[in-house]
Every structure is written in C-alpha cells, then in structure tokens.
C-alpha cells in the first residue's frame, strides 16, 4: 500500500509539469495546446542529443535542452499560433494538432522509432522499510518539486508572475494597465517549453525516450489540467497528483495496461459532475 502511494505520487509528479505548462498556456492564450505531448518528446530528444551524442552530464544536457526548447516553443508560437490568434480556440486547437504531427515526425525522421535511454549511472534502489524508491524516482521527486517551487514563486511574488496572472484573469484590463500581451505570451511559452522539456527528461528517465512518449502522456496531462480547472495553473498540479494516485490505486482492481481507461473515466466523471474542475472555481472556467 505504501509502495502504491509512492508510485502514485511519482506518477502524479510526472504529470504535474506538463499539466502546469498546458494550463499556463491555456490561461493566457485560451486555447488547449494539443501539441504539449510532442513538446515533451522533443525536449526529451534534445536532451538525449546533449547527454548521449555530445556526452554532457544529464543535468547540463537538461538545462541546455530546456533553454533551447524554450526558444523553439516561442518560435513555434510565432510561426504557427500567432497568425491564428484572433481566430478562436478551435482553429488553434486544430493547428496544434498539425504542430504535434509535424514535431513527432521530425523526431521519427532523425531518430527512428527505437526506444533509447539516457546515459546515467545505474544505482541500487533505496529502501525505507518495505518501500522501495529508485534513483530515477528520487530525481523525479526532487526535480519536480524544485521546478514547482520556482514556478510558484514566480507566480506569486514577481512582477512577471503578476503580469501572467493579470492577462489570464482579464486580458483587456491587463492591456489598459500597460501590460503588453505579446510579451506575456512569449514568457509563457518560454516557461512552458522549459517545463515540458524537463518533464520529457524525467519521463525518459522513468521509462524510455521514444517518439510515442508524449502521445501516451497527452490524455493524462489534459485530464490533470481539467481536474485542476484548466485555466488554473497551480491547481493543475493538484489535479496531476490526484490523477497519479487514482491511476496507481486502480491497478488494484484493473490490469496495468488499462491505466488510460482509468484516466478517461476520471475525466468523463469530472466533466459530467464538475466541469469547472475539482479545484477550480466556477468563474475561472467561464
């Protein structure tokens, strides 16, 4: 049981960063970036290049990859999403499907379909009583908490955070208060790019680096964000933890390969009962 909880928390933490990224971009841009899964894969592969091809230590490769992909995310926005900004959420959603397909196939073209692994030292799992925690899980725990803490501090206490929250809350009012939307949008993509890259690395550590990795996370990430009340970034983290635990506990009664079905049932139940999210307030989703 204790082991299940640990696994559930780790699973939830893996979802937390991309869910945060998704809901951050949604809150400011009002469109659901379907390509978030491909962002995760792309980030993971960029870091793979640094780590395995160029031989950097993983932390360095991850930092460099996050910085690089953050810029790429802004670039994608410029090329693909910005020209469509005034055309409504649905058009952007379809465009993001195009972006997702394009990115995924860039990966397939250069890296092929075979799973790969990061170059990290192998270590024996640690034991606390009868609970096992391997090094990858520990890395995930520390990295996600650190990233969440940084984002939270930016959000709550900095000028940049107030800028983003103001635009998310009321774009017109933010404009008359002197906040330039396009700058906020760029910052948001930078942050989302870094978060998805980091989560890609962690997913790659936990399992493998493969072109499909983002796709398998897509549905859970969306569900976690919806659980949090899609436009409420910090609540998306709570949504991710809830979902991670639910998925893990469901393995008691369902085969493991049906995780996705648990996710889907959670989403459906939520949409029928509390569409504004477990943790959201009604006005947030309007």
Partner 1 sequence: MRDVVAGYGGHPILHGVSFSVRAGETLVVVGPNGSGKSTLMKTAVGLLRPISGQVLFGEANVTTLGAPARAARGLANVPQEANIFRNMTVLENLQVGYEFVASHSAPSFGKRLDAVLDLFPEIRAKLRSTAGYLSGGQRQMVAMAAALMPEPSVLALDEPSAGLSPRNAEILFEVIGRVAASGVTLLIVEQNTRLGLGAADHGVVLVGGRIRLAAPAAEVLADPDIRRLYLGGA
Partner 2 sequence: MTVYLIATLTLVAIAALAGLALNLQWGMGGLVNFGLFGFYMLGAYIAGLLTVQGLPPLVALGVAMLGVAALSALSALISVRLSEDYLAIVTLGFAECLRLVISYEGWLTRGMLGVSGIERPLQAWWPRGWGDTGFLLLALLAVLIVYTVLQALARSPFGRLVRATRDDPGVVEALGKSVLGVRVRVFAIGGAILGLAGSLHAFYYSYIDPTQFGPIITAYAFMAVVVGGRGSNRGVVASAFTLIFLLEGSRFLIDLVPGLGASELAAIRLFLVGVGLVALLIFKPDGFGREPRSALADKTSSRF
Range 179-238, binding partner 1 (CB under 8 A)? 179-181
Decide: is 178 part of the binding site for partner 1 (CB under 8 A).
yes
CA pair distance 224, 235, nearest whole angstrom = 9
Phi, psi of 116 (to 5 degrees): -130, 165
List residues near partner 2 by CB under 8 A.
31-32, 34, 79-80, 83-84, 87, 89-91, 93-95, 97-106, 108-109, 112-113, 215, 218-219, 222-223, 226, 230, 255, 257-258, 260-261, 263-264, 267-268, 271-272, 275
Residue 192 near which of partner 1, partner 2, none (CB within 5-8 Å, type-dependent): none
Q: Report the alpha-carbon angle 261-265-267, nearest 5.
A: 115
End-to-end CA distance of the chain: 39
- Other beta carbons less than 10 A from residue 151's beta carbon: 21
Residue 178 near which of partner 1, partner 2, none (CB within 5-8 Å, type-dependent): partner 1
Segment interacting with partner 1 (CB under 8 A) among 46-54, 88-96, 155-163, 194-202: 155-163
Contacts of 83 (CB under 8 A, 6+ apart): none
Segment interacting with partner 1 (CB under 8 A) among 17-25, 114-122, 156-164, 207-215: 156-164
Separation in Å, CA 224 to CA 149, 219, 263: 19, 9, 9
| Local structure of 148: helix, strand or coil | helix
Interface with partner 1 (CB under 8 A), residue from 71, 125, 150, 170: 170
Residues engaged in binding partner 1 (CB under 8 A):
159, 162-163, 165-166, 168-170, 172-181, 283-284
């Amino acid at each position: 049981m204790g082991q299940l909880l640990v696994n559930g928390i780790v699973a939830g933490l893996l979802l937390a960063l991309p869910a945060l990224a998704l809901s951050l971009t949604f809150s400011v841009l009002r469109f659901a970036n379907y390509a978030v899964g491909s962002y995760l894969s792309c980030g993971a592969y960029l870091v793979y290049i640094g780590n395995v091809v160029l031989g950097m230590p993983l932390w360095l490769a991850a930092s460099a990859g996050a910085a690089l992909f953050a810029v790429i995310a802004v670039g994608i926005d410029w090329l693909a999403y910005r020209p469509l900004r005034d055309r409504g959420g649905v058009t952007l959603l379809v465009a993001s499907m195009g972006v997702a397909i394009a990115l995924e196939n860039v990966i397939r073209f250069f890296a092929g379909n075979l799973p790969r692994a990061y170059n990290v030292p192998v270590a024996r799992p640690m034991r606390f009583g009868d609970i096992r925690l391997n090094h990858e899980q520990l890395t995930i725990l520390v990295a996600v908490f650190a990233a969440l803490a940084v984002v939270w501090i930016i959000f709550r206490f900095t000028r940049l955070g107030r800028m983003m929250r103001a635009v998310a809350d009321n774009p017109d009012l933010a404009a008359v208060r002197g906040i330039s939307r396009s700058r906020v949008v760029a910052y948001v993509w930078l942050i989302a790019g870094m978060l998805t890259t980091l989560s890609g690395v962690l997913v790659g550590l936990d399992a493998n680096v493969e072109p499909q990795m983002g796709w398998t996370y897509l549905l859970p990430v969306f569900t976690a964000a919806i659980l949090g009340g899609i436009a409420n970034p910090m609540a998306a983290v709570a949504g991710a933890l809830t979902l991670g635990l639910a998925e893990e506990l469901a393995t008691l009664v369902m085969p493991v390969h049906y995780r996705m079905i648990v996710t889907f049932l959670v989403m459906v139940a939520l949409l029928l009962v509390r569409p504004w999210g477990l943790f959201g307030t009604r006005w947030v989703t309007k």
